[in-house]
Structure 1
Amino acid sequence: MIVAFLNQKGGVGKTTLALHLAGAWAAEGRRVILIDADPQGSALDWSERRSHEGLPRSFSTIGLARDTLHREAPELARDADMIVIDGPPRVAGLMRSALLAADLVLIPVQPSPFDGWASAEMLTLLNEARIYRPELAARFVLNRCGARTIIARETAETLADHDPPLLTATIGQRVVFADAAQSGRLASEIDVDSPAAREIAALAVEIDRLPIGRTLP
């Protein structure tokens, strides 16, 4: 399966979620490739930090920030159980290519009305991609969420009746994610019993249960 984290808006946590989802699946023994399709290369930077720290590589990270992604990702998927794409902000050609590559698009949003407005552009691109890929699945992911805040509850309620729907699993605003980004580690490696680690595990389980996937020729 090819899962792409995409949103036209930057700063919504695509890289953090992509790295941690890849790590969660790799910890289960799956062969995982993370494609860094963001020209900023944040996932590649994280991978380099991990290497400098002498930490073992649990999944491969490949830079592929070009609009041939929809042709190259399925080829890479032949040698992996899961492909995770860390998508770009506001690069239309690359975004369209990532949409055409994916089996599942995850759209991270933060509990803010501004994120809802920004995602409208993303949904337009998603609908365009479904002309060519009608089976393309998509879900919103509520990220950096204070579970007890009014705005988080209102955002979740708004997205509950939306298409695409909202995943049940939400990810909180956790300091450990910033520590992980700086150290080349995952939240589960810093503290396996942390709320962040449990939230990522719940996200991975929920995605696994979705009836999504395609058989490659």
Structure 2
Amino acid sequence: MTSSDALRIAVFNGKGGCGKTTLAWNLAMGLGRRASTLLLDADPQGSLAHWADWSGREDIAIRVREWGSEAGHGEEYAFIVTDCAPRLEAEELKQIVAESDLVLLPVLPSPLDLWASRRSADWIREQRAQRPTLRAAFVLNQVEAQSALSRAAQVAIAELGLPVLRAVLHRRAIYRSAALEGLSVYHMGKRASAAQAELERLIEEIVT
């Protein structure tokens, strides 16, 4: 399998503070447990590269590189995950999405955060109109345990015109703990079992 055969996933939302980079990192780590995975950092902040360097671990199951037109070419990967800059005006965004099979938009499950994601959802729907094979979906992130979506949030989701994955990610301290150590929740042992399980549900949903 060459990089041209890989499942390419872009993680994007023009609304900051939605946990985009954390999702991209942990998602790539979960995919890396299945097959060869490349994680590309297209965010000028370079958080992912710093994250990987900070860990100092040799058992990181993925490659992390800065996004570029030649990144991954000539190499074999089953999955390529790109952490996009949180800006609709980013010059590389259109190219990344054009090369992607799936766009995941993490969003906090509140009406204000959902409505703030409207421009991103509208832009993605425009790209899908030009390329109907492009898949896109919201990922509800940092959901409070045992809380149901408010009616206002449900209405906001429906108005945005993109599907929502059934798998959700909850607000868990283990995600922050792993980040502070430069690790993913897959490196945090049994105390991260719940976080690992919800990521596995998300992965199964997007790869099957």
Q: Which residue is 2:162 aligned to?
A: 164
Shift in alpha-carbon separation, 1:133–1:117, aligned structure 2, 3 A: same
CA distance in 1, matches of 2:101, 2:159: 22
What secondary structure sits across from 1:194 in the alignment? helix
- CA gap of 1:116–1:77, structure 2 versus 1, over 3 A, is farther
- 1:14 aligned residue: 20
Q: State the shift of 1:56 in Å.
A: 2.0
Matches within 5 A, 1:110-125: 110-125=108-123
Partner of 2:3: none
Any conservation in 1 of the 2:88–2:120 contact (CA below 8 Å)? no
**SS at structure 2 position matched to 1:83:** strand
Query: Separation in 1 of the partners of 2:126 and 2:9?
Result: 18
Structure 2 residue 126 is matched with structure 1 residue 128: yes
Q: Deviations over 1:70-93 (max 9, x none)?
A: x546x6385210000111111522
Q: Check whether the contact 2:121–2:161 (CA below 8 A) recurs between aligned residues.
A: no
Deviation at 1:142?
0.2
Sort the Cα spacing of 1:170 and 1:157 in 2 relative to 1 into closer, same or farther, 3 A: farther
1:1-217 matches, within 5 Å, as: 1-28=7-34, 30-51=35-56, 54-64=57-67, 71-72=69-70, 76=73, 79-92=76-89, 93-151=91-149, 155-156=153-154, 158-159=156-157, 163-192=161-190, 194-209=193-208
Check whether the contact 2:36–2:78 (CA below 8 A) recurs between aligned residues: yes
Task: Give % identity.
Answer: 34
The runs of 5 or more residues in structure 1 that have no matched partner are 210-217
Question: What secondary structure does 1:135 align onto?
Answer: coil
Task: Name the amino acid aligned to 2:43.
Answer: D
TM-score by length of 2: 0.86
Determine helix, strand or coil for the equivalent of 2:92. Answer: helix
Distance in 2 of aligned mates of 1:77 and 1:40: 27
What is the CA–CA distance in structure 2 between the aligned matches of 1:94 and 1:127, rounded to whole Å? Answer: 18
Q: How far apart are the structure 2 equivalents of 1:77 and 1:156?
A: 44
- The answer to whether the 8 A contact 1:144-1:171 is kept is yes
Contact kept in structure 1, 2:10 and 2:104, CA below 8 Å:
yes
What 5-or-longer segments of structure 2 have no aligned partner? Answer: 1-6
Distance 2:138 2:173 in 1: 22
TM-score by length of 1: 0.83
Q: Cα distance, 1:115 vs. partner?
A: 1.5
- The residue type paired with residue 51 of structure 2 is W
Does the CA-based 8 Å contact 1:106-1:138 persist in structure 2? Answer: yes
Contact 1:160 1:166 (8 Å CA) reproduced:
no
List structure 1 segments (4+ residues) > 4 angstroms apart after TM superposition.
150-154
Structure 1 residue 154: deviation in Å? 5.3
Deviation at 1:106, TM superposition (A): 0.4
Q: Do 2:121 and 2:160's aligned partners in 1 also have CA atoms closer than 8 Å?
A: no
1:86-105 deviations in Å (ceiling 9; x for gaps): 11111522322222121000
